[in-house]
Amino acid sequence: MKQVYFDNAATTQVKDEVIEAMTNSLKDNYGNASSTHSFGRSSKSLIENIRKDIASYFNVSAGEIVFTSGGTEADNLVLRSAVRDLGIEQIITSKIEHHAILHTAEQLENEYDVSISYVNIDANGLIDFNHLEQLLKNSNKALVSLMHVNNEIGNLLDIKKTATLCKEHGALFHSDTVQSVGHYKLDLQEIPIDFFAASAHKFHGPKGVGFCFIRKNSGLKPLIFGGEQERGFRAGTESVHNIVGLGASLKLSYTNLKEESTYVKGLKTYFISKISNELPEVAFNGCSGDLKQSTYTLVNMRLPVSEEKSAMLLFQLDLKGIACSKGSACQSGATSSSHVLSQILSTEELKKPSVRFSFSIYNTKDDIDYLVEVLKELLSN
Each residue's pLDDT tens digit, 125-138: 999 999 999 999 99
* Per-residue pLDDT at 46: 97
Give the type of residue at 87.
Answer: G
For 30-88, what is each residue's pLDDT tens digit?
A: 999 999 999 999 999 999 999 999 999 999 999 999 999 999 999 999 999 999 999 99
Angle, CA of 161, 167 and 171, to the nearest 5°: 115
Please give the torsion angle defined by the CA atoms of residues 333, 339, 345 and 350, in that order, rounded to the nearest 10 degrees: 20
Q: What is the mean pLDDT of the chain?
A: 95
* Per-residue pLDDT at 6: 98
* Per-residue pLDDT at 333: 46
Structural contact between residues 54 and 65, judged by C-beta atoms closer than 8 angstroms: yes
Bridging pattern class, strands 115-118 and 90-93:
parallel
What is the length of the chain?
Answer: 381
Give the type of residue at 373.
Answer: E
Cα distance between residue 374 and residue 352, in whole Å? 18
First to last CA, the chain: 20
Structural contact between residues 147 and 340, judged by C-beta atoms closer than 8 angstroms: no
pLDDT band at 381 (very low <50, low <70, confident <90, very high): confident
Name which of 22-36, 225-239, 288-302, 325-339 the model is least confident about: 325-339
pLDDT band at 233 (very low <50, low <70, confident <90, very high): confident
Cα distance between residue 6 and residue 356, in whole Å? 8
Cα distance between residue 272 and residue 154, in whole Å? 14
pLDDT band at 1 (very low <50, low <70, confident <90, very high): confident
* Per-residue pLDDT at 141: 94
Bridging pattern class, strands 283-284 and 298-302:
antiparallel
User: Which of the residues 166, 287, 324, 330 is marked catalytic?
Assistant: 330
* Per-residue pLDDT at 327: 61
Q: Residue 21: pLDDT above 70?
A: yes
- Does 79 or 309 have the greater pLDDT score? 79
For the chain, domains (ranges, CATH) are 4-12+256-380 (3.90.1150.10), 16-255 (3.40.640.10)
Cα distance between residue 19 and residue 207, in whole Å? 12
Q: Residue 331: pLDDT above 60?
A: no
Burial of 21 (0-12, 13-18, 19+ CB in 10 A): buried
CA-closest candidate to residue 133, choices 174, 161, 114, 157? 161
Three-state secondary structure of the chain: CCCEECECCCCCCCCHHHHHHHHHHHHHCCCCCCCCCHHHHHHHHHHHHHHHHHHHHHCCCHHHEEEECCHHHHHHHHHHHHHHHCCCCEEEECCCCCHHHHHHHHHHHHHCCCEEEECCECCCCCECHHHHHHHHHCCCCEEEECCCECCCCCEECCHHHHHHHHHHCCCEEEEECCCCECCECCCCCCCCCCEEEEEHHHCCCCCCCEEEEECCCCCCCCCECCCCCHHHCECCCCCHHHHHHHHHHHHHHHHCHHHHHHHHHHHHHHHHHHHHHHCCCCEECCCCCCCCCECCCEEEEECCCCHHHHCCHHHHHHHCCEECECCCHHHCCCCCCCCCHHHCCCHHHHHCCEEEEECCCCCCHHHHHHHHHHHHHHHHC
Active site residue 330: yes
Q: Residue 334: pLDDT above 80?
A: no
Rg (CA), the chain: 21
Cα distance between residue 295 and residue 316, in whole Å? 27
Bridging pattern class, strands 322-323 and 4-5:
parallel
Name which of 18-27, 31-40, 304-313 the model is least confident about: 304-313
For 112-159, what is each residue's pLDDT tens digit?
A: 989 999 999 999 999 999 999 999 999 889 999 999 999 999 999 999
* Per-residue pLDDT at 284: 97
Q: Residue 364: pLDDT above 60?
A: yes
* Per-residue pLDDT at 336: 62
User: What are the phi and psi torsion angles at 140 (to 5°)?
Assistant: -140, 120
